[in-house]
Amino acid sequence: MTDSSIHRTIEAVWRMESAKIIAKLARMLRQVGLAEEFAQDALVSALEQWPRIGVPDNPGAWLMTTAKNRALDEPRRRKLLERRHGEIADDTPLVGSSGSEPEQAADDDLGDDLLRLILIACHPVLSTEARTALTLRMLGGLSTAEIARAFLVPEPTIGQRIVRAKRTLTEARVPFEVPRAEQLGARLASVLEVIYLIFNEGYDATTGEDWMRPALCEDALRLGRILAELLPRDAEVHGLTALMEIQASRIGARTDATGAPILLLAQNCGQWNQLLIRRGLAALERAESLGGTSGPYTLQAAIAACHARAPTSADTNWIRIVALYDALAQLTPSPVIELNRAVAVSMAFGPAAALEIVDSLASNSRLRGYHLLPSVRGELLEKLGRFEEARAEFTHAAGLTKNARERSLLLGRVAACGIAAQ
């Protein structure tokens, strides 16, 4: 293998294995920051040695062993420093001493370690931005530069968020443990929120030149699948995974050859990824089979499934989608959900009924500056033949969006309404 192919192999292995390595080391050392440092040391060793010795038969195990050996030497190094300098190391552990040696912790269950790391990276004590950056760094295997590029944020800003997140966890002395059952629900909600936020930024990029950033969708899907394996009895975990699988199935059909957006009803359903649809429907079935009232992610997955099961757009069961949005609105009232429900009402019962819903949202402060409100209103007015009004709404929406592809799409609608109005 050439050096460049070895480097690509290392990058792929790191993406797959880094979360497991950091989770194991964090369990051993009780310090997320140190765990990442030793994992990075192992990565550097691979970059230095594999071009010379070749890629090991089990590259993930090689990285894990190298990192663990570095970690196991850490207590000895600290003791040596204490003897020589009479002071302890500067790093403060996330929790107090457990009384166990790293050698003992090294054999703990890897699944539990990953769950602990996920819960720490998405801890509510951190801001949403910090949780997102730390999750992608620790569990997605992304570099600071990659995260910055994905969210179109300066690299120093992402670096500062990650550093501050680690410092906050240390100062808050967040225990490296799975919370008790009565605390897990709130913590898990934070995890699901962050994973879906990452997916949504990939699926509908809020800024930049591209309509989508599929790599972010892939990272979120990987995290969701890991979580589904770790928590097989949690319906909402499977619900979120189902939702992301089904939505991701459409990625290849959402743009044309030039990268211009293709909206859902105009997409070629035959281009949707059937493997992802099958995976998503299976995850939805698991979520629903666990019983109880469906949560918001499971309900959204059920809506996505209505589209996935329809042979063509014309065959979509819009009445069921409206009913699912009704249930979602009762469970988690939100003007954004109500706006989405209006779109479904338009398809099921006509644009006039939907316009009443949209007009009732016009004064909602939470939608001020939200470009999809005038966009949806423009579409409804266009269907009703009120082209001049529709043109004004599309113009307004184009001025609000920060995504170049979406702005171009909306300006195209402006032009079409102008022609239709003549």
Written as one string, the DSSP assignment of 170-222 is HHTT--SSPPPHHHHHHHHHHHHHHHHHHHHHHHS-SEES-S--HHHHHHHHH
> Rounded to whole angstroms, how far apart are CA atoms 194 and 220?
9
Check whether 109 has a pLDDT greater than 90.
no
**Mean pLDDT, range 6-23, rounded to an integer:** 89
> Rounded to whole angstroms, how far apart are CA atoms 219 and 194?
12
Q: What share of the chain is helix, strand, coil (3-state, %, to 5)?
A: 75, 0, 25
- Which pLDDT does position 99 carry in this prediction? 41
**Mean pLDDT, range 377-389, rounded to an integer:** 97
Check whether 106 has a pLDDT greater than 50.
no
- Which pLDDT does position 93 carry in this prediction? 41
- Which pLDDT does position 140 carry in this prediction? 82
Polymer length of the chain: 422
| Burial state string for 147-176 with b = 16 or more CB within 10 A and e = fewer than 16 | bbbbbeeeeeebbebbebbbebbbeeebeb
Of the two residues 138 and 344, the one the predictor is more confident about is 344
- Which pLDDT does position 92 carry in this prediction? 38
**Mean pLDDT, range 208-218, rounded to an integer:** 89
Compute CA 17 distance to the chain's CA centroid, rounded to the nearest angstrom. 18
Identify which of 4, 11, 32 has the alpha carbon closest to the alpha carbon of residue 143.
11
Residue 76 Ramachandran class (φ > 0 left, ψ -120 to 50 alpha, else beta): alpha
| 8 Å CB contact between 261 and 255 | yes
Mean pLDDT of the chain: 88
For the stretch 248-265, pLDDT in tens is 999 999 999 999 999 999
Per-residue DSSP letter, 403: E
For the stretch 327-369, pLDDT in tens is 999 999 999 999 999 999 999 999 999 999 999 999 999 898 9
- Which pLDDT does position 79 carry in this prediction? 61
Check whether 210 has a pLDDT greater than 90.
no
Which amino acid belongs to residue 225? Answer: R
Check whether 142 has a pLDDT greater than 50.
yes
Of the two residues 155 and 183, the one the predictor is more confident about is 155
Residues whose CB is less than 8 angstroms from the CB of residue 270 and which lie 6 or more positions away in sequence, other chains included: none
Assigned token pair, 72: 């196991």
> Rounded to whole angstroms, how far apart are CA atoms 234 and 227?
10
Question: Residue 87 CB: number of other CB atoms within 10 A?
Answer: 8
> Rounded to whole angstroms, how far apart are CA atoms 394 and 373?
10
| Topology of domain 3-87, CATH | Rna Polymerase Sigma Factor; Chain: A (1.10.1740)
- Which pLDDT does position 83 carry in this prediction? 55
Domain definitions of the chain by residue range: 3-87
Check whether 6 has a pLDDT greater than 60.
yes
**Mean pLDDT, range 52-74, rounded to an integer:** 90
Alpha helices in 290-403 (DSSP H): 296-309, 318-331, 335-349, 351-360, 372-383, 387-400
Check whether 316 has a pLDDT greater than 90.
yes
**Mean pLDDT, range 140-150, rounded to an integer:** 85
**Mean pLDDT, range 95-121, rounded to an integer:** 62
- Which pLDDT does position 304 carry in this prediction? 98
**Mean pLDDT, range 88-116, rounded to an integer:** 52
Taking the alpha carbons of 50, 63, 10, 275 in that order, is the dihedral positive or negative?
Answer: positive
